[in-house]
Amino acid sequence: MRKHAVVGTLAALTALVGIGLGTGVAMASAPAGCNNTVVCLYADDDYSGGGFFKNTPGGRYNLGNEGFNDETNSWYNNSDVDAKWFFDINQTGASRCMQPRSGNHSLSLYDYDEASSLAIYTDNAAC
Ligand SMILES: [Ca+2]
Ligand SMILES: [Ca+2]
């Protein structure tokens, strides 16, 4: 009886932790190395593996020109403006908005290693 109660409590705790981790999109503070005002794309999950870092509002980039085509697995936008990554070059194909001061530490399998271009906007109303 007592053993069952302990197991039940552990299961409840595990479920709570799972809910907390499962939301996934925003984190409290930027990862180390993603400096203020910078949009950071990373080759691996959890903001690791090296990446592509830009802090130029209005900037448009083809990631193949930067040696970073179809590499992105996680990102953090540590700027105050919207940014967007695109499946294809020249800001075409499906896209994903990167809201200011937010991140995604592990893209979905569908989005894994797909980013081919990037737009950094000049305000936070672009997407
Ligand atoms: Ca990758
Ligand atoms: Ca692509």
Residue 7 pLDDT more than 80?
Answer: no
Residue 55 pLDDT more than 70?
Answer: yes
Residue 22 alpha carbon to ligand 2 centre in Å:
26
Q: Which residues of 42-67 are buried (b: 16+ CB within 10 A; e: fewer)?
A: beeeebeeebbebeebeeebbbeeee
Closest listed ligand to the CA of 113: 1
* pLDDT given for residue 29 in this prediction: 87
Residue 70 alpha carbon to ligand 1 centre in Å:
7
The better pLDDT of the pair 22, 43 is held by 43
Residue 68 alpha carbon to ligand 1 centre in Å:
9
Residue 112 alpha carbon to ligand 1 centre in Å:
6
Parse the chain into domains and list their residue ranges.
Answer: 26-120
Residue 44 alpha carbon to ligand 1 centre in Å:
5
Residue 8 pLDDT more than 80?
Answer: no
pTM above the 0.85 mark? Answer: no
Residues 6+ apart with CB under 8 A from 88: 116, 117
* % of the chain beyond a pLDDT of 90: 76
CATH 2.60.20.10 applies to domain 26-120: yes
Residue 2 pLDDT more than 80?
Answer: no
Q: What is the dihedral of CA 46, 48, 54, 55, to 10 degrees?
A: 50
Closest listed ligand to the CA of 118: 2
